Amino acid sequence: MHEPVRHIEWMGDARSGHLRLLDQTRLPGEVAWLACRDVETVRQAIMRLSVRGAPAIGIAAAYGCVLGAQQPDGRRAFAASAERLAASRPTAVNLFRAIDRMKRCAAGVPDDAALPARLLDEAKAIHEEDRAACRAIGEHALLLLRELTGDRLHLLTHCNAGALATGGIGTATAPMYIAAELELPLTVYADETRPLLQGSRLTAWELRQAGIDVSIIADSAAATVMAQKRIAAVITGADRIAANGDVANKIGTYSLAVLARHHGLPFVVAAPTTTIDLTCACGEKIPIEHRAAEEITAGFGRATAPPGAAAFAPAFDVTPAELITAIVTERGVIRPVNPAALAAQFDSC
């Protein structure tokens, strides 16, 4: 079984330990690690996308809360840290779920001296639960994809909903890793994912580490890849799923869903239940992060637009539920995607 890189790891004990993150901004060229010894470093790492992907930023923030509680005035520093971390990125609901869970944990620990250790246990539990959720998602998703594609596992994915975005084997990539374990024939196309190239830099990197056949395509090649019948299904992750089944995910996901519908291809979303937000009635209510114009006009430090050119840079879009064939969580498959089906399976979220 392929073990993905442990890209988020707590080093040492609760009182004096620190968080170690693989700096994803340096991939694929360099495998470099960031030592986060204070909350601000974790917040910056999330904002800069050194750690990114909905479940992963929740896990990193949970460990970040432990760093807050290590301060002399632990309880107050923890509360301030939780607020700071919650202000890092707005779209992935996993971040807010993890921080709320850490706050509930702190509230249940009357003894200040015990706070760091209890919070570290909670952060590790969040991490471990996500690892287990990824595998369960993979098992459900693989069964579904085999059924939908008649075992022709030619899959297109967008951005990175992989091991690097989670505590386990990813969400959209989970059925790929399991198919590889089972030695099933598998072909993956990865959208490069403009403007920050999470598809080519990260998804292709981690799938290659596992020996999985992956071809990178320019985002704009997706229609052609579908028209040429090179793929049998699209599978992506999610940053937040509204109560009606609308899905916010990396910008460009919506276009893929429209294209998939046009070409009669299944469009599957894989996400843990921690990504479902039943308090958000529909996609319009999901806060969408906008990134700095320079990520488009001068990506990776090199000007690709004339000085002064403006850019419109939403980091995520919303795919309407009606374009989604199924949502797969660790609890099973939601199909068709509608408010009643979501509520029926996830009323406890």
DSSP string, 228-266: TT--SEEEE--SEEETTS-EEEETTHHHHHHHHHHTT--
CB 47 within 8 A of CB 64: no
**Least distance to ligand MRU from the beta carbon of 250, Å?**
3
**Least distance to ligand MRU from the beta carbon of 96, Å?**
14
Measured CA to CA, the distance from residue 275 to residue 238 in angstroms comes to: 7
Measured CA to CA, the distance from residue 34 to residue 19 in angstroms comes to: 8
**Least distance to ligand MRU from the beta carbon of 74, Å?**
30
**Least distance to ligand MRU from the beta carbon of 161, Å?**
4
Q: Which of 126, 155, 161, 222 binds ligand MRU (CB under 6 A)?
A: 161
Nearer to ligand MRU by Cβ, of 54 and 349: the residue is 54
Element (H, E) at 147: helix 115-149
- The answer to whether residue 54 forms part of the interface with ligand MRU (CB under 6 A) is yes
- The answer to whether residue 329 forms part of the interface with ligand MRU (CB under 6 A) is no
Nearer to ligand MRU by Cβ, of 51 and 115: the residue is 51
Residues in the chain: 349
- In the window 213-242, what residues touch ligand MRU (CB under 6 A)? 236-239
- With 0-12 CB in 10 A as exposed, 13-18 as middle and 19+ as buried, what is 346? middle
Q: Which of 50, 171, 200, 274 binds ligand MRU (CB under 6 A)?
A: 171
Binding range to ligand MRU, per CB under 6 A, among 53-61, 107-115, 254-262, 331-339: 53-61
In three-state secondary structure terms, 75 is: helix
**Least distance to ligand MRU from the beta carbon of 308, Å?**
26
Name the amino acid, one letter, at 24. Answer: Q
Which phi and psi (to 5°) does residue 152 adopt? Answer: -95, 90
Select which of 130, 191, 239, 277 is catalytic: 239
Active-site residue flag, 239: yes
Q: Which of 66, 315, 323, 328 binds ligand MRU (CB under 6 A)?
A: 315
Q: Strands of 276-277's sheet, edge to edge?
A: 276-277, 240-242, 247-250, 316-319
Q: Which of 165, 231, 242, 243 binds ligand MRU (CB under 6 A)?
A: 165
Q: Which tokens is 65 given?
A: 């809360």
Nearer to ligand MRU by Cβ, of 112 and 219: the residue is 219
- The answer to whether residue 175 forms part of the interface with ligand MRU (CB under 6 A) is no
Binding range to ligand MRU, per CB under 6 A, among 15-23, 34-42, 158-166, 211-219: 158-166
- The answer to whether residue 166 forms part of the interface with ligand MRU (CB under 6 A) is yes
Name the amino acid, one letter, at 232. Answer: A
Measured CA to CA, the distance from residue 215 to residue 155 in angstroms comes to: 10
- The answer to whether residue 97 forms part of the interface with ligand MRU (CB under 6 A) is no
- The answer to whether residue 201 forms part of the interface with ligand MRU (CB under 6 A) is no
**Least distance to ligand MRU from the beta carbon of 139, Å?**
16
Element (H, E) at 334: strand 332-334
- In the window 58-77, what residues touch ligand MRU (CB under 6 A)? none
Helix residue spans in 8-110 (DSSP H)? 39-48, 54-69, 74-86, 93-107
Helix residue spans in 26-73 (DSSP H)? 39-48, 54-69
DSSP state of 335: -
Question: Where on the chain is the footprint of ligand MRU (CB under 6 A)?
Answer: 49, 52-55, 92, 159, 161, 165-166, 170-171, 198, 236-239, 249-250, 315
Residues noted as catalytic: 239
